[in-house]
Amino acid sequence: MATSKPSVEPLVIGIDIGGTGTKFGIVDRVGNVLFSGDISTKKHKQVETFIDELHDHLKVLIDKAGGVGRMKGIGVGAPNGNYYTGTVEYAPNLPWKGIIPLAKMIEDKFKLPVVLTNDANAAALGEMMYGAAQGMKDFIMITLGTGVGSGIVANGHLIYGHDGFAGEIGHTIIIPDGRMHEGTGKKGSLESYASATGVRLTALEMMKNTKTKSVLRSFKPEDIDSKKVFEAAIAGDAVAKEIFEFTGKILGMALANAVMFSSPEAIILFGGLTKAGELILKPTREHMEANLIQIFQNKVKILVSHLKESDAAILGASALAWELQ
Amino acid sequence: MATSKPSVEPLVIGIDIGGTGTKFGIVDRVGNVLFSGDISTKKHKQVETFIDELHDHLKVLIDKAGGVGRMKGIGVGAPNGNYYTGTVEYAPNLPWKGIIPLAKMIEDKFKLPVVLTNDANAAALGEMMYGAAQGMKDFIMITLGTGVGSGIVANGHLIYGHDGFAGEIGHTIIIPDGRMHEGTGKKGSLESYASATGVRLTALEMMKNTKTKSVLRSFKPEDIDSKKVFEAAIAGDAVAKEIFEFTGKILGMALANAVMFSSPEAIILFGGLTKAGELILKPTREHMEANLIQIFQNKVKILVSHLKESDAAILGASALAWELQ
């Protein structure tokens, strides 16, 4: 029996840290996620126990994939992750407060080089390397999850800003004195409307402020989430459709402002809310166009990421690691 | 008598086209404006007669400076100017409508290479080459004139966007359904508040909506302009001070959004409104900080350009021409 010669092709590890859960995987050069897993972020009050659990899980995958010697490095996407310093700073959606030297901690634990950026920047790199933004030099990635993240690519490069924190479109103020964001204490930011959390809050407000019949009224307020709103909307529920209409209006205004800032070829949307399809895309597109001055109108594509959601976050984070020397 | 040998050091021509007037000059490598002049933009309904008059005036200066052979090229800053195509497209503040191939027209007339961008991008290059942004790699230039322009520099390069039109922060929507902008038909843009025109409109609104005594009430409405508001404010007029307070509030919100987008080291302000000094800078700074999430707070400098106003526009446009091959 012939033994197959072990491949020496290098691999990278991608780790995507979200407010709720963390996904990780081992990825090859062309974007195959060879092994993957996930753990809870939320349950770890201490970052140390989080890294221990992450290492325990990844160790098994690394061994399956040929051992640590085959790994080129680790790319990490995390909210408020700083590319220059490798730290996560004051992330409103993470359980760990203050400034966390996450890249250093992971490097010490795994004995591999680590590069870190914010999760949406990582997602943008993933789209540029493997997804809808292949070949583009100017685009904006918007992730619509628990929060709203963004990564801005101009002239082929991510904009990191002077301190590594550029690309926080989710926190730009769209409605002055608008809805309070519990995490940041700021009012009227994009994230307070166009996230899963925001859709839930819009639903609760609409139930309170209108008398219109809706299937959503059959749930307890604490049980209403963006998924239930989505299901009601595709079943034709008028209030649920109105919720997406309103969410798209706010998102469209924010996208118009982003377009007038960096004039991208396309905006790539990713995340749970995009599952609502035209229910959210139509008002988003309409309100974006309505707020653009003439030179920007009818030029900018709004695209939905076609990367598999379970892989996309890992691919984005892994894309960072290929840049390691 | 010894004849001095004519210098062969190359020079460039800078042309800054504004809605009201156009400034031009001949500039050396270190930013001395050797010769300069200006003509009216507004009076030329036809771009052809504008270019004829521009050429008549500049011809004299070019001859004084050693002739056309010594000129490396021409840099042009113009509203809605497109770096990639050399055209000016649908500029709301210019008398010429549609798409104007301005770089080509000037090139044909002057027989010199021409490079064009929008006026605020040119101003940003001028600040980077000769002014307050020397040594910076990430900053945003905001020009507060008849309109509001912006130039965004990230990682040492101007952001032009996929089509050459990036950097229109003046048209971003700050107050949804806010004040109508006559030029664009859009509501609530930064420019409709934080420009000389905007300050005038705020003054008229405040006179109408309050009964507070003000020296501004002694003028006919059509005679009120940002200069009169400025003079009243430094003389201590409460309404005039309130007008700058309000203008600074809107500007501060817009700057906060810009910071969360590209995380610059500094924002450089330029133009007539900056003459109001702390009357406008204090509320601008306060409202910017109040709308920033924690990671961006107390980091970003708001600087006022220290280039001489009469030279700055010419220097900015000329900075473009040094990039010509």
In A85-195, which residue ranges form alpha helices assigned H by DSSP? 102-110, 119-130
Question: In angstroms, what CA-CA distances link A78 with A14, A40, A88, B196?
Answer: 11, 14, 7, 43
Distance from CA of B175 to the nearest CA of A (A): 7
- A171 in contact with B, Cβ within 8 Å: yes
- B260 in contact with A, Cβ within 8 Å: yes
**Whether residue B223 sits in one domain with residue B115:** no
Residue B42 tokens, joined: 């507004």
The three-state secondary structure class of A76 is strand
- Whether the pLDDT of residue A60 is over 70: the answer is yes
Average pLDDT, chain B: 94
B174 contact residues in A (CB cutoff 8 A) = 176
CB atoms closer than 10 angstroms to residue A293:
24
**Whether residue B217 sits in one domain with residue B195:** yes
Contact B261 A260 (CB under 8 A): no
Single-letter amino acid code for the residue at B58: L
CB A143 within 8 A of CB A126: no
In a domain, A203, yes or no: yes
Q: Please tell me the pTM assigned to this model.
A: 0.90
In a domain, A46, yes or no: yes
Q: What is the pLDDT of residue A1?
A: 46
- A152 in contact with B, Cβ within 8 Å: yes
**Whether residue B164 sits in one domain with residue B67:** no
- Whether the pLDDT of residue A135 is over 50: the answer is yes
Q: B177 lies in which domain range? A: 135-305
- Among A263, A288, A298, pick the best mutation site for testing chain B contact (most B Cβ within 10 A): A263
In a domain, B216, yes or no: yes
Helices B196-209, B226-234: inter-axial angle, 10-degree rounding: 70
- A294 in contact with B, Cβ within 8 Å: yes
Q: What is the pLDDT of residue B90?
A: 87
Please count the structural domains in chain B: 2
> Which residues neighbour A184 within 8 Å (Cβ) at sequence distance 6 or greater?
A92, A171, B293, B294
The three-state secondary structure class of A306 is coil
Residue B55 tokens, joined: 């050429």
In A141-237, which residue ranges form alpha helices assigned H by DSSP? 196-209, 226-234
pLDDT in tens, A197-233: 999 999 999 999 999 999 999 999 999 999 999 999 9
**Whether residue B174 sits in one domain with residue B97:** no
Contact B294 A256 (CB under 8 A): no
Which CATH number do you get for residue B171?
Answer: 3.30.420.40
**Residue B323's pLDDT band (cuts 50, 70, 90):** confident
**Whether residue A166 sits in one domain with residue A96:** no
Helix or strand holding residue A151 (H, E) = strand A148-154
Helices B278-291, B226-234: inter-axial angle, 10-degree rounding: 100
pLDDT above 90: percentage of residues in chain A? 86
In a domain, B1, yes or no: no
**Whether residue B149 sits in one domain with residue B108:** no
In a domain, A264, yes or no: yes
CB A190 within 8 A of CB A169: yes
**Whether residue A262 sits in one domain with residue A316:** no
Beta-bridge partner residues of B301: B266
In a domain, B32, yes or no: yes
**Whether residue A66 sits in one domain with residue A89:** yes
**Residue A119's pLDDT band (cuts 50, 70, 90):** confident
Q: What is the pLDDT of residue B1?
A: 46
Contact A257 B260 (CB under 8 A): no
- A298 in contact with B, Cβ within 8 Å: no
- Among A87, A158, A261, A301, pick the best mutation site for testing chain B contact (most B Cβ within 10 A): A261
**Whether residue B160 sits in one domain with residue B253:** yes
Angle at CA of residue B193, ends B192 and B196, nearest 5° = 90
Q: What is the distance between the alpha carbons of residues A57 and A51, in angstroms, rounded to a whole number?
A: 10
Contact B175 A176 (CB under 8 A): yes
- Whether the pLDDT of residue A68 is over 70: the answer is yes
**Whether residue B120 sits in one domain with residue B103:** yes
More confident residue, A244 or B2: A244
Contact B89 A293 (CB under 8 A): no
B157 vs A152, A155, A161: nearest CB: A155
**Whether residue B224 sits in one domain with residue B171:** yes
Give chain B's radius of gyration (CA, Å).
20
- B298 in contact with A, Cβ within 8 Å: no
B175 contact residues in A (CB cutoff 8 A) = 176
Q: What is the pLDDT of residue B6?
A: 52
CB B76 within 8 A of CB B115: yes
In a domain, A45, yes or no: yes
Q: What is the distance between the alpha carbons of residues A193 and A254, in angstroms, rounded to a whole number?
A: 11
Question: Per-residue pLDDT averaged across A236-263, rounded?
Answer: 98
Burial class (CB in 10 A: 0-12, 13-18, 19+), A8: exposed
Residue B57 tokens, joined: 């005036």
In a domain, A108, yes or no: yes
CB B146 within 8 A of CB B200: no
**Whether residue B74 sits in one domain with residue B52:** yes
Nearest Cα to Cα of residue A265 among A167, A151, A137, A159: A137
**Residue A93's pLDDT band (cuts 50, 70, 90):** confident
